[in-house]
Structure 1
Amino acid sequence: MCSSNLGLKTQASAPSIGIIDDDLAVRRSLANLLKSAGYSASTFSSGEEFLQSLNESAPDCVLIDARMKGMQGIEVQRFLKLKDTAPAVICMSAFWNDVTMAEAYSHGAHQCLAKPFTEELLLTTIEDALRSR
């Protein structure tokens, strides 16, 4: 397991990370990793479910699968870009191409990660995204 300098924070003060992916195994795996690194993690099976949750509170950072059933990651990004307090966005996909990657960045993605990625790369990317907010 990779260590993170943010991993020493308590759950109450830990940055919150939203995980939006239609694959249950991916959501569980990422949530377990992030919780073990000291983050507060919430999972969402669709972009629609995530957007409905924003009435409660927005996470500090979101991991968004670019290709999902229903609302795609880019569509979620377009909505978040309109918000005053948009979270840092990290897009994930096993199917990147130049066009979709450029679109993700143009809608405010901090980084685009190709699945599968290492735990270390993900944790480093999240730390960097949180610092740049």
Structure 2
Amino acid sequence: MNQRQVADGAPRVVVIEDDQGVRDSLVSLLRSMKFNVSAFSSTAEFSSKGHLASVGCMILDVRLPGQSGVE
């Protein structure tokens, strides 16, 4: 699903997961529910490319390389 198919005003959900298969599955599921989703493989990648102010919800892996989802 591309961004044009996401409902206008849908909450932005950020997925931070290092396992690509899990990340892709979560993104696919959330987009099928019309959420606006951004995905990152690490907290460092989110920090360099993401925008916390636009996030409605974050789904984080607890065990990530570097900084964990809990941190």
Residue 57 of structure 2 corresponds to residue 54 of structure 1: no
Q: Distance in 2 between matches of 1:46 and 1:30?
A: 15
Q: Which has the higher helix share?
A: 1
Structure whose alpha-carbon radius of gyration is higher: 1
Q: Return the letter of the residue paired with 1:54.
A: H
Q: Which runs of 5+ in 1 are unaligned?
A: 1-9, 76-133
Query: Which one of 5, 21, 38 corresponds to residue 17 of structure 2?
Result: 21
Tell me the C-alpha RMSD between the 2 structures.
Answer: 1.5
Query: Which one of 60, 65, 68 corresponds to residue 64 of structure 2?
Result: 68
TM, length-normalised to structure 1 = 0.45
TM, length-normalised to structure 2 = 0.81
Runs of 4+ residues over 4 Å off in structure 1: none
Deviation at residue 41 of structure 1 after TM alignment: 0.7
Deviation at residue 15 of structure 1 after TM alignment: 0.8
- Between the aligned residues of both structures, percent identity stands at 37
Q: Which runs of 5+ in 2 are unaligned?
A: 1-5
Deviation at residue 19 of structure 1 after TM alignment: 0.1
